Amino acid sequence: MYLYRIKSTALKKTLTAGVLGAGHLGKIHLRLLNESERYTLVGFYDPDVEASKALAESAGYTYFESQEALIAACDVIDIVTPTLYHHAVAKACIEAGKHIFIEKPITHTIAEAEELVSLADAKGVKGQVGHVERFNPAFKAVKDNLGSPMFVESHRLAEFNPRGTDVSVILDLMIHDIDIILSVINSPVKSISASGVAVVSETPDISNARIEFENGAVANLTASRISLKNMRKLRFFQKEAYISVDFFTKQVEVVKMKEANEDTDEFALVLQNAEGVKKEIYFDPPEIQPSNAILEELETFADAIENDTTPIVPLAHATEALRVAYQIIECF
């Protein structure tokens, strides 16, 4: 193997980590793990030997010449390979007793995901999936305000990028919003209707879906990877509140209602319904704490491992998001 020095630190790092896959996102994970105070980066493996040696030379990471050697050397494996390889790679890691962080979607098929969930439970290892929008500072700022939303609307639009077109826009983009919505609406899915169109790829590039839940909540989702501009917005409507989250600009709007009374300011915005009930409309903007969402998802996974707690996005949650995604795809 090629050995290059990784930066030293005065802090004790209890978890050793390696990265499988050194493409665009893999390089980001390598940099963040190397900078993290929670991990010691051991190195990486990628089947592209020439590119890997160049990366090791330029960035100072350790390149392992086999997947097996890297797995054996680490406590945690960060899987950033193409989706088709997620299952085989994750299974090898789990069978070796290693904790896994795996990029979304969890696997190519639901059966593969279910096998990983069962295997991880049997082996007693932790697994987290990279549904990174759970860690977006805008969503984190409002999630405690989300009670029981009954209508949700999402728009996730992106300019075309050939990276990621190995899967449909549902598995590439919409699955982020599926995961967020499932984490907020605590009710089984009742029915799904959807449509999708393949424009430049072999799989759908634009799709719209409607998800109805057993509790009466409804979610409308739109995703496109052939748009002229980028947009990543979720809007939640619940009793006496409207909450808008812009994942792209990391901004939020929280509009609430409360009973108007004699103490209500005369300049306040007050609505009166047909029954004569008056409601005061007011803005309640939360404080947004800047953060690096990818670094935070990696470091909260370290917390789960060291404290023996459930990861924020466990394998089972990601499996349910994948299940709903495929139910949407089956509608086409």
Instruction: Note the pLDDT of residue 162.
Output: 78
Please tell me whether the overall predicted TM-score, pTM, comes out greater than 0.85 for this model.
Answer: yes
Domain 15-132+295-313, CATH 1.10.3720.10 — does that match? no
pLDDT of residue 12: 54
Q: How far is CA 288 from the centre of its chain?
A: 19
Q: Where are the domains of the chain?
A: 15-132+295-313, 134-291+323-329
Domain 134-291+323-329, what fold?
Answer: Dihydrodipicolinate Reductase; domain 2 (3.30.360)
Tell me, what's the pLDDT at 2?
Answer: 41
Amino acid 1: pLDDT = 42
> Phi first, then psi: what are they for 171, rounded to 5°?
-80, -25
Low-confidence ranges of the chain (pLDDT < 70): 1-13, 164, 266
Alpha helix positions (H), 173-224: 175-184
CB–CB of 46/24 below 8 Å? no
Interior angle at CA 42, CA 10 and CA 176, nearest 5? 100
Question: What pLDDT is stored for residue 6 in this prediction?
Answer: 40
pLDDT of residue 311: 98
Q: Are 138 and 165 in contact (CB under 8 A)?
A: no
